[in-house]
Structure 1
Amino acid sequence: MAPITPTLPESFFSSVLNAKDTATKVRWYMCVIVNLSSLNYADVIPQVYSHLEANLLAGLSHDDQFKAVQQIQEGLVKSLGIAGAARTGNGLRVFAKCTPGGLLVKESLRLQETEATAIRRGKKFFSRVYDKNPLFKPEVTARASPDYWFIVKDIIYGRLFSFDAILDDLTSAYAMVSALYGMNSPDQLRNHMIGMQLNGADKQSLQELQDLLLGLGDILGVKFRFDRVPIPDVPSQACS
């Protein structure tokens, strides 16, 4: 017997209706859709797309509609590095079924750049996230698995996370953190929230994101293993 798909109440969407601009609204929808995919609730994505279509896309030009959809797709693609291929693939396929064909990306922009370019960019992005965070110990990860360390730095950060033709670093970080909430990964959440603050986010924005996504989990009836992660302060060493 197939599980029943939960229904999101209209009240859940109140914050996006009150958002100040289109970019903020697109990011809100992206974060929610990425989180649903990561939580393994891809079947709820059509409800979010329907709201997006009626309350935002309908008022935009075709080019701006395409850009908004492209950004949400890219947020899902980047969540692959957090949630894995299975859940990300489910989320992308469900999202694509909701979306008119004329708004879907038809070719891979990543194929148009060299591996060397991606690796250089990935190392710079990795440094911006972690280098000033004294709580992150790279040697621990490298010792755990040299292959994992190589894949994360050169492939996931190079080809996936740091790709900036569609999303900038900060918006990419929103997608990554949204997926981490779905995976309920406290240590990674802490480090990435510090990284977000080092790259322009403020604590209020991170608190709003946490309230949104944990509130979504409550609506869906998700039982997380780990408790809410406090929004971290930027370590004093990072400010010196």
Structure 2
Amino acid sequence: MNRILNQKRLHQLQQFHPKLENVWYLVASATFSVCNRPEEIPLIYHQALSTQNGKPIDDRAKIIHELLESNRSDSLKADSLMESINETYKNPIQYEVQITKKLREALLITYPLGGLPKAINSLSQLKSVTPSALLPCVNQDVDITNPNLNTDALFQDTLRANPKTIEEYKKVTDDGIKYWNNVYNKVSNKVFHNISKSYPDMIYFIIKHTYGPLFSFNKILNEKEKCLIIVSALVPQDVDAQLYGHLKGALNAGCDKEVVSLIQDMSIMISTWCGVRSSNKISKL
């Protein structure tokens, strides 16, 4: 499969507009993930790591070049590349930690929007080029096949709390309802009941398993960032009603109207590069 990104296109994404300086890599990665081109995400990640405040950092462009030239099926080249990555980022600064955490979270957000398999593949691609010092700490001693396993141990490494009491479970639901109302505002009840009439179990999973624990979680991404990522993940999919709802939701969250339009334009451009065609009519603010 031919690579979509080259150095020119990487710079085009990063310099798309000054107002997108802090979110371009999140939006671009979410769009590539939904377009089922996760192999482009490592380039975006390292392009974001290689610059700060719009300026290149030392010689990190070398890693970008190696990624552009590398054949990921060649294990020797892959090992050499990871040696270079680990050496460059052996003492990561807060800026690099933040970019890595935000990108992981952005790709997680895409899973109920574009599909779980795509999100898994995208996070796997990201992991394959993440410096060892920036990988999440995970307890690998847990044996999931053990019939006597304490299931709480399965999720001890997650950033999200693992609800154990009725009150904690209720809070997840309350958080989901609050986020839902923030997005849909005046039409919250209408959208809720329309989905519920189609299948009550659908709205159950949306509130309790998507809006509650996923969309309302704000320890890594803020409300505006999450809204922009959701919009970018919906643009390639020709789901006009859902896109329009989240365009309005982005405004309800306080996003600048021009920024939301720029996000759409970037996602449309990436979708075109990927050969993912949307209908001629697409919701605009």
TM-score, length basis structure 2: 0.72
What amino acid does structure 2 have at the position aligned with 1:78?
I
The equivalent residue for 1:95 is 126
Give the stretch that moved more between structures: 153-162 or 110-119. Answer: 110-119
Tell me how far 1:221 sits from its aligned partner: 2.7
Q: Is the 8 A contact 1:130 1:195 kept in 2?
A: yes
In proportion to residue count, which structure has more helix?
1
Answering whether residue 60 of structure 2 is matched by residue 62 of structure 1, we say no
Cα 1:193–1:66 shift into 2, 3 Å: same
Match of 2:38 among 42, 64, 73: 42
Distance 1:93 1:15 in 2: 22
What amino acid does structure 2 have at the position aligned with 1:231?
K
Alignment deviations for residues 36-71 of structure 1 (CA, whole Å, 9 cap, x no partner): 111101011122123222223948961221112101
The equivalent residue for 2:160 is 110
The equivalent residue for 1:227 is 280
The equivalent residue for 1:176 is 230
Structure of greater Rg: 2
Gaps of 5+ in 1: 233-240
TM-score, length basis structure 1: 0.84
Distance 1:47 1:95 in 2: 9
**Secondary structure at the counterpart of residue 167 of structure 1:** coil
Distance 1:134 1:67 in 2: 33
Over the residues paired in the alignment, what is the CA RMSD in angstroms? 2.5
**Secondary structure at the counterpart of residue 174 of structure 2:** helix
After TM superposition, list the pairs within 5 Å mapping 1:196-235 onto structure 2: 196-224=250-278, 226-232=279-285
Percentage of matched positions with identical amino acids: 21
**Secondary structure at the counterpart of residue 48 of structure 2:** helix
Count, aligned residues = 227
Tell me how far 1:96 sits from its aligned partner: 1.1
The equivalent residue for 1:13 is 11
Q: Is the 8 A contact 1:36 1:182 kept in 2?
A: no
Runs of 4+ in 1 over 6 A off after TM superposition: none
**Secondary structure at the counterpart of residue 221 of structure 1:** coil
Distance 2:202 2:10 in 1: 38
Cα 1:19–1:208 shift into 2, 3 Å: closer
Distance 1:91 1:112 in 2: 24
Q: Is the 8 A contact 1:32 1:213 kept in 2?
A: yes
Distance 2:228 2:173 in 1: 21
**Secondary structure at the counterpart of residue 186 of structure 2:** coil
Gaps of 5+ in 2: 59-88, 138-156
Cα 1:9–1:219 shift into 2, 3 Å: farther
Q: Is the 8 A contact 2:176 2:213 kept in 1?
A: yes
